Amino acid sequence: MNKKIIIVVVIVAIVIIWVGHALFNIQPKPSGLKVGVIAGLSGEYAFVGENYRKGIMLAYELYQKENPESATEITIEDDEFDAKKGLSAYKKLMEINKVDALINMTSPTINAIYDTVVKIDMPVIQLGEQGQAPSDDNVFQISPGNVSEELGEYTKNLDLDNVAVVYSNDLTFIRFFEAFRKGYGGSFDEYKINIEEKDYKTIVSKILNKKPSAIVFMTIPEQGARVAQEILKLSKDKPMFIFDASFQIGFNDYERILGDLTVLDGDVVMVITQTTSDEFTQLYKEKYGEDPGFVADWAYDSFNLLIRTYDSNGEKWISNIKKAN
């Protein structure tokens, strides 16, 4: 795949190294702080969820080591990247575990709980892109915001004659699509795929009948891989493929479904790169014997952000997070 064109969006992840209770002037909580975590620990993207869990547990254990009397508890639930299971996990954390704060990994879960969670004075640190436009609320997305507008601008600058855009009928991907449209600033053919769709022959036939010079994928990774697979089967003259950053998290899906990824030589992938501090990398390797995986640093930051901004008053806690840098 040495010919592949990569769009690199460089994100500098500022990893907070925990250096002690006094540094951040944290108020003690005699009854014990309860933090709930929802992550995709099984299912298609379990490897990302496992990286996420490792990052959070590293931060938690370092904090406990420095503050053995804190009585802080952490409860981790698995949503399998599924909205219904995410909602169930949220209800359990709230009703049974009675958590004081939430760290959530996936987009399906935040989309399922958003309308409920914004009604309470509880901070939520979010990783995956929300289906809702960012607003002044208690949900704080720690990962990069919607970067699809930049992909639209990039695609426009390629000066292609006939562009098709395929996107999943999901709140998050609809936001990606609208941002791409804004960045592209011109006309193109659009194709929306329902989440439950399994047969892609009809939509692929419609796409290919228009003879696009390029096809942009803004889909759940497995859907994108299946559509690409069908296009490769039916197209005698393959158009350029342009993938949004979802390709990065779903790389294993594309490899599993397409097999030899040299079929994508010359195509475009948007990726998000991260830089992590040497100190964080060292701490991670000391605990796990490996380099930090994708999203581990954001997970680590998520826990530390909650801890260093803590206030027993939920409204003040949320305000402290808004002021953090």
Q: Which amino acid is at 153?
A: E
Closest among 173, 181, 179 to 131, alpha carbons compared: 173
Q: How much is the pLDDT for 4?
A: 44
**pLDDT number for residue 319:** 95
180 within 8 A of 148, measured Cβ to Cβ: yes
Please check whether residue 113 is in contact with residue 156, taking contact to mean a CB–CB distance below 8 angstroms.
no
pTM of the prediction? 0.78
Q: What pLDDT sits at residue 181?
A: 96
d(CA 274, CA 234): 37
Which sign, positive or negative, has the C-alpha torsion 237, 240, 246, 250? Answer: positive
Ordered mean pLDDT values, 10 residues apiece, the chain (325 residues): 42 39 43 91 87 97 90 95 96 97 95 96 93 88 82 95 95 92 96 93 96 96 95 94 90 91 92 83 96 92 94 94 86
Q: Which helix (H) or strand (E) holds 39?
A: strand 34-39
Confidence at residue 208, expressed as pLDDT on a 0 to 100 scale: 96
Q: What CA–CA distance (Å, rounded) separates 271 from 244?
A: 8
Closest CA to 103 of 90, 115, 112, 92: 90
Domains of the chain and any CATH numbers: 12-144+274-323 (3.40.50.2300), 148-244 (3.40.50.2300)
In what side-by-side order are the strands of the sheet with 73-78? Answer: 73-78, 34-39, 101-104, 124-126, 139-141
Taking the CB of residue 291, how many other CB atoms lie within 10 A of it?
A: 10
Query: How far is Cα of residue 210 from the mean position of the Cα atoms in its chain?
Result: 33
Sign of the alpha-carbon torsion through 277, 129, 255, 267: negative
**What span, in angstroms and rounded, lies between the C-alpha atoms of 45 and 220?**
11
User: What pLDDT score does 325 carry?
Assistant: 66
Backbone angles phi, psi at 125, to 5 degrees: -100, 120
